[in-house]
Chain A
């Protein structure tokens, strides 16, 4: 069974850095794309970008380009989403998802990581 297990909730201050993770199991992690999706409190879903762990090919939504960094370590089946300087507006739930193609649907979702940024 495919599983995406995300790291736990984080509480950070503005200006701090953060990296959250998404560990895959149950399928060949390097044969699929991993996407990150943001959901701000009470709002809809926003696709942030994707990475192909097999070769680290990465694509970003223009809305998130330069704001976050997506990376992966295929040796441990893990993808990452990181910020160098958090803002209060980064407060949201972040989901990692599996996409079978770079332009594809999300068939498996992680449980979500809640990031709270507050002074």
Chain B
């Protein structure tokens, strides 16, 4: 099965900072990668699918990109409401594996 490795596992940044989270697939998955946000005690929410397509209603400060088997979620200007754990998920075929998550906190 394809493994999804997320890094870092946690980060602390200041409000207004640019934040980057990476997800690496152990094999090629084309653009079949989604990103989710899970705020503390809440249900996960879809942010991005197709590696870079923003889900309706998601703020434009979130963006996604792909370079080969490396995928990046970028928050262009971190806001207090962005405190959450972020997960990537590959969905090219079953099992639809999630990455281990990246916890984002405010410094």
A: residues with CB less than 8 A from B are 35, 37, 44-47, 49-50, 59, 61-63, 95, 99, 102-107, 109-112
Q: Which of B32, B89, B95, B98 has the most CB of A within 10 A?
A: B95
Q: List residues of chain B with CB within 8 A of the CB of A110.
A: 43
C-alpha spacing A106/B46, complex, angstroms: 7
A118 → B minimal CB distance (Å): 21
CB distance from A33 to the nearest CB of B (A): 10
Task: Name the distance in Å between B42's Cβ and chain A's nearest Cβ.
Answer: 9
Which chain B residues numbered 10 to 55 have a C-beta less than 8 Å away from chain A? 32, 34, 36, 38, 43-46, 49, 55
State the interface size on chain B (CB cutoff 8 A): 24
Q: Which residues of B contact A47 (CB under 8 A)?
A: 89, 95-98
Q: Is the CB of A105 within 8 A of B89?
A: yes
Q: Are B97 and A112 interface neighbours, CB within 8 A? A: no
B93 at the interface (CB under 8 A from A): yes
Of the candidates B34, B55, B101, which one forms a contact with A44 in the assembled complex, judged by CB atoms under 8 Å apart? B101
Interface residues of B (CB under 8 A from A): 1, 32, 34, 36, 38, 43-46, 49, 55, 87, 89, 91-101
DSSP class of A's interface residues: helix, strand, loop or mixed? loop
> Which residue from chain A places its CB closest to the CB of B55 in the assembled complex?
A107
B19 to nearest A CB, angstroms? Answer: 19
Question: Can you sample 26 A-B contacts with CB below 8 Å?
Answer: A45-B36, A45-B89, A45-B101, A47-B89, A47-B95, A47-B97, A47-B98, A50-B94, A59-B94, A61-B94, A61-B95, A95-B43, A99-B91, A103-B92, A104-B49, A105-B34, A105-B46, A105-B49, A105-B89, A105-B91, A106-B36, A106-B46, A107-B46, A107-B55, A110-B43, A112-B43
Q: A44-B101, A106-B44 provided; 19 other pairs, C-beta below 8 A?
A: A44-B99, A44-B100, A45-B87, A45-B89, A45-B98, A46-B98, A47-B96, A47-B98, A61-B96, A62-B95, A95-B43, A95-B44, A103-B91, A103-B92, A103-B94, A106-B36, A107-B49, A107-B55, A109-B45
